[in-house]
Amino acid sequence: MFQKLIKKTNLDVEERTFSVCYYETPKMNGASRYSAEVVFHPRDHMILDADSVKGLETRLACLVRASFYGRMLVETGTSV
């Protein structure tokens, strides 16, 4: 199956901007599946899947912020 880019946006977290690309993938039964790719760094990506773009946006609102803070902790070597 082929993915089609349907939307490209940016998310702002703590004065940083991350690129987000939304893709649609058709399924064999005619339905569509959606995914979003967040680029934290050229070699650091996060991909999420959902049944709708709205579902992806809801997940991204929480997970991008949490992932960003987790990556900050790893970079600084700080433990919680």
Which residues neighbour 39 within 8 Å (Cβ) at sequence distance 6 or greater? 18, 19, 20, 45
Residue 80 has a pLDDT of: 55
22, HSE (Cβ side, Cα atoms, 13 Å): 19
Can you give the residue ranges of every domain in the chain? 4-75
pLDDT of residue 15: 87
To which H or E segment does residue 73 belong?
helix 53-76
Mean pLDDT in order along the chain per 10 residues (80 residues): 90 89 93 93 92 92 87 71
Which amino acid is residue 68, in one-letter code? Answer: F
Distances (CA, A) of 60 to 39, 46, 78: 12, 10, 24
